[in-house]
Amino acid sequence: MNYNKNFYPIKSNEEIFEKLVDEKKDIGYYKLPYQHTSDIKEYAKTVTQKDIVVVGIGGSSLGTYAIHNFLIHKQNGKKLHFLESTDPLDIKRRVSKIDLNDALFIIISKSGTTIETVSIFKYLHSLTTIDKTNCVCITEHDSKLNSYAKTNDIKTFEIPKDVGGRFSVFSPVGLLPLAIMGIDIDELLNGCKEVNNSFFEKRDYYTHIMNKARFLVENKNRFNINVLFSYSSLLEGFNKWYIQLWGESLGKINFNGTRQALTPIGILGPVDQHSFLQLVMEGVRDKTVTFVKVEEFGEDTTIPDISIPSLEELDYVNGIKFKDLINMQADSTIKAVEELGDIPCDVITIDKVDEFNIAKLMYSFQVLTSTVGKFVQIDTYDQPGVEIGKIILKNKLKKGE
Amino acid sequence: MNYNKNFYPIKSNEEIFEKLVDEKKDIGYYKLPYQHTSDIKEYAKTVTQKDIVVVGIGGSSLGTYAIHNFLIHKQNGKKLHFLESTDPLDIKRRVSKIDLNDALFIIISKSGTTIETVSIFKYLHSLTTIDKTNCVCITEHDSKLNSYAKTNDIKTFEIPKDVGGRFSVFSPVGLLPLAIMGIDIDELLNGCKEVNNSFFEKRDYYTHIMNKARFLVENKNRFNINVLFSYSSLLEGFNKWYIQLWGESLGKINFNGTRQALTPIGILGPVDQHSFLQLVMEGVRDKTVTFVKVEEFGEDTTIPDISIPSLEELDYVNGIKFKDLINMQADSTIKAVEELGDIPCDVITIDKVDEFNIAKLMYSFQVLTSTVGKFVQIDTYDQPGVEIGKIILKNKLKKGE
């Protein structure tokens, strides 16, 4: 008797780890923590404009938005805008908030020919003069957008060929706009390094990530939905970034032709206690839940010791800091979920609202995604499923339908 | 032989319809389309403040946000703010954008004792004087918040007892702030009436809703995730509202003790073509997809006929209106999904960006939710699963942990 095809062997952790070590040669995001940032920081210092406009979609904007959103209180006086949708009313409204005479346009497209980005870029051309004084491009070395920039003497920053859009936040795609906004990008990279080193030296992050990935994969048919329950409004952008990372990386046909998918959902506490929580608590047991908490918000606003006539029964919140209230809300929800006993959940605590911590969080999710991808034996870094729609669209447009 | 317990009979459409007709007596949202609005409109006219601040969470804010978000370009010069999260950095940032001396505070809580709402209300008390000149309450007739308002001669609007939070957008909860912002609330109710009449007179909406509900229920174990793919940034709020409505209404233990759940996901086109679409296209077939399109945005911004050197290959978009581009993107994605042949999908087209159409959309989702609830034999209108966490929190707070 012979086994001719061992068609879905779940590998040992050690085998997976070896494969990850192996892919570090080809997959660029693992190298980003160690890049030089002086060119980016130098450029950022020269920016005088007040309105910073990121023109880019998907992986070209989500990571930047996530970090900007988390560190919004830590930035300089500049305003960061995002233009990405082709919704005409949305474009109009967003553009109306930009002072076109005091704006820097950051055009971001890995391929250089993203239809949404180029269409909006054309529209901006009709509104104002765009040249080397108010434009910078972030793209691949040999893209058409790079040729455009070179011809017009416009500064460019490069997206390495081996860094995919949804893994590009720690390349110039994210670092340049964030540096301009006053974010300490070296501290971001320090956070990435800590996770990268810890994982590949088989310390803490190795254990956490490998165990979690293995659990998710072994139970993927039973728990096909992974809920990220973030207890801070500042993590709204992070949730969106996670959804792209998880969904687009892991929704794939694997090497045996088997469809894979872990479906990501991002919700926010305490707001979604009044929305999605009921479904988690009483619905079908098809979800894992990862709670994300912020240990120290660094903001001591307190519920004042005011007794409102008729509402005295709520006086037990008096004198409590909001940061303690939200964490007690998180802990209460976590306890309620744990007590049910049949919903797999884990808790990630972010120490502080700073660059180092958000980078650790995001980088560790990238490594987790790569690890799960290896277990289910897919190409984590491509997205072949979205090409069909693009071709249909191009044909429609060319035919002038 | 005897059948003692017919434990999960899928009822006939006719039986379900009869049950819905029957529940109209007890469930208040069916009556809202026919309410009188003169009191609301009169009050709205008297509001002179520039900053309108909704203090409310979950069902007290999501519906208002959805309609405000969809009709943002149609409103008067006032600014609508939402205070709901207990995140201290989020509260600080939002409050800093309000002119406290030129603000109207709309305090919304059905029970009158929602912890987030009362905590924020207390905080606002410490920042400014709150009295009948700058405050209005929306609550149940016999709530503590109503007593507070009465004592202080503060105007109140009533949430009927039989209208639950996530079904309350067409009660004063949504109508009052929206009327103040210049939205035509009678046109909202006209949209609701059209759907309500059509459904209960067994015309178009009856057929659409009943067929869809039946399909979703009969296939709920195979397709446990329902993706709403909205092709307009203006529908971001609607997506969030849908998630609460669907998740909190249908994530229940039914009358046989069986866990029910259809898990809602909301995504936006074209942005999420660069994110979630890959998962839909190639992932496990566990999702239905409902596309929502806007037929006429009423905004003719056109991609100018500009050829950018090096980027000429994209000149085929020149002269196209953005509204046509986004709809071609939607149609291309729809075609790509349909061609796969094994993802159940349907398409909802909104004629125009106006009050009548957003109300039709939202009201029809309410009726769809009620219909699915009847099929799976749950109480669509309660949310018992969130109580445990609230009790744990209250104990923590009272013990001063």
- Check residue B197 and give its pLDDT: 98
- Chain A hits for B314, CB-CB cut-off 8 Å, are 113, 115, 118-119
Quick one: A101 and A243 in the same domain?
no
Calculate the CA dihedral of residues A185, A186, A188, A190 and round it to 10 degrees. Answer: 170
DSSP structure class, residue A203: S
Per the rule left: phi > 0, alpha: psi between -120 and 50, beta: everything else, B78 is beta
- Check residue B399 and give its pLDDT: 85
Calculate ∠ Cα B205-B206-B210, nearest 5°: 115
Beta partners for residue A51, in sequence order: A79, A103
Q: Is A274 annotated in the active site?
A: yes
**Out of B141, B150, B390, B394, which one is annotated catalytic?**
B390
**A317·B388 Cβ contact <8 A:** no
A111 touches chain B (CB under 8 A): no
A125 part of a folded domain: yes
- Chain A hits for B88, CB-CB cut-off 8 Å, are 297, 299-301, 321-323, 326
A8 part of a folded domain: no
B386 part of a folded domain: no
Count the domains in chain A: 2
Quick one: B174 and B206 in the same domain?
no
Quick one: B46 and B177 in the same domain?
yes
* 3-state SS track over chain B: CCCCCCCCCCCCHHHHHHHHHHHCCCCHHHCHHHCCCHHHHHHHHHCCCCEEEEECCHHHCHHHHHHHHHCHHHCCCCEEEEECCCCHHHHHHHHHCCCHHHEEEEEECCCCCCHHHHHHHHHHHHHCCCCCCCEEEEECCCCHHHHHHHHCCCCEEECCCCCCHHHCCCCHHHHHHHHHCCCCHHHHHHHHHHHHHHHHCCCHHHHHHHHHHHHHHHCCCCCCEEEEEECCHHHHHHHHHHHHHHHHHHCEECCCCCEECCEEEEEECCHHHHCCHHHHHHCCCCEEEEEEEEEECCCCCECCCCCCCCCHHHHHHCCCEHHHHHHHHHHHHHHHHHHHCCCCEEEEEEEECCHHHHHHHHHHHHHHHHHHHHHHCCCCCCCHHHHHHHHHHHHHHHHCC
B161 touches chain A (CB under 8 A): no
Asked if pLDDT for residue B4 goes beyond 80, the answer is no
Quick one: A280 and A355 in the same domain?
yes
Quick one: A158 and A212 in the same domain?
no
**Out of B248, B293, B323, B360, which one is annotated catalytic?**
B248
- Check residue B145 and give its pLDDT: 98
**B397·A279 Cβ contact <8 A:** no
- Check residue B10 and give its pLDDT: 67
Residue B58: closest CA among chain A residues belongs to which residue?
A274
- Check residue B1 and give its pLDDT: 64
- Check residue B191 and give its pLDDT: 98
Domain boundary among B161, B183, B205: B183
B96 part of a folded domain: yes
- Check residue A26 and give its pLDDT: 96
Quick one: A172 and A206 in the same domain?
no
Asked if pLDDT for residue B8 goes beyond 70, the answer is no
Interface subset of A 4-23, CB within 8 angstroms of B: none
Asked if pLDDT for residue B255 goes beyond 90, the answer is no
**What ipTM score was computed for the predicted complex, to two decimals?**
0.96
Domain boundary among B183, B207, B231: B183
CB-based contact A268:A227 (threshold 8 Å): no
B354 touches chain A (CB under 8 A): no
A10 part of a folded domain: no
**Which ranges of chain A have pLDDT less than 70?**
1-10, 401
Q: Choose among B148, B166, B278: nearest Cβ to A383.
A: B278
Rounded Cα–Cα distance for residues B330 and B242 (Å): 20
Quick one: A87 and A209 in the same domain?
no
- Check residue B6 and give its pLDDT: 53
pTM beyond 0.90: yes
A45 touches chain B (CB under 8 A): no
Quick one: B216 and B177 in the same domain?
no
**B233·A279 Cβ contact <8 A:** no
Domain boundary among A136, A155, A183: A183
**pLDDT tens digits, B37-84:** 999 999 999 999 999 999 999 999 999 999 999 999 988 999 999 999
Quick one: B161 and B194 in the same domain?
no
Helix (H, G, I), strand (E, B) or coil at A181: coil
- Check residue A8 and give its pLDDT: 56
Asked if pLDDT for residue B253 goes beyond 60, the answer is yes
Which residue range forms the structural domain that includes residue A347? 187-375
B95 touches chain A (CB under 8 A): no
B102 part of a folded domain: yes
**A232·B87 Cβ contact <8 A:** yes
CATH number at residue B143: 3.40.50.10490
Rounded Cα–Cα distance for residues A241 and A390 (Å): 22
Q: Is A236 annotated in the active site?
A: no
Q: Choose among B145, B265, B304: nearest Cβ to A311.
A: B145
Q: Higher-confidence residue: B258 or B267?
A: B267
B304 touches chain A (CB under 8 A): yes
A117 part of a folded domain: yes
Tokens of B240: 């969030």
Average pLDDT in chain B: 96
**A329·B91 Cβ contact <8 A:** no
- Chain B hits for A224, CB-CB cut-off 8 Å, are 224-225, 284, 286
Q: How far away is chain A from the Cα of B391, in angstroms, using its nearest Cα?
A: 8
Interface subset of B 63-92, CB within 8 angstroms of A: 72-73, 84-92
Averaged pLDDT, B269-281? 95
**pLDDT tens digits, B104-135:** 999 999 999 999 999 999 999 999 999 999 99
Quick one: A263 and A299 in the same domain?
yes
**pLDDT tens digits, A70-83:** 999 988 999 999 99
Asked if pLDDT for residue B261 goes beyond 90, the answer is no
A211 touches chain B (CB under 8 A): no
Q: Is A68 annotated in the active site?
A: no
Quick one: A133 and A233 in the same domain?
no
- Chain A hits for B325, CB-CB cut-off 8 Å, are 86, 119, 397
Quick one: B79 and B209 in the same domain?
no
A372 touches chain B (CB under 8 A): no
Helix (H, G, I), strand (E, B) or coil at A160: coil
B319 touches chain A (CB under 8 A): no
B5 part of a folded domain: no
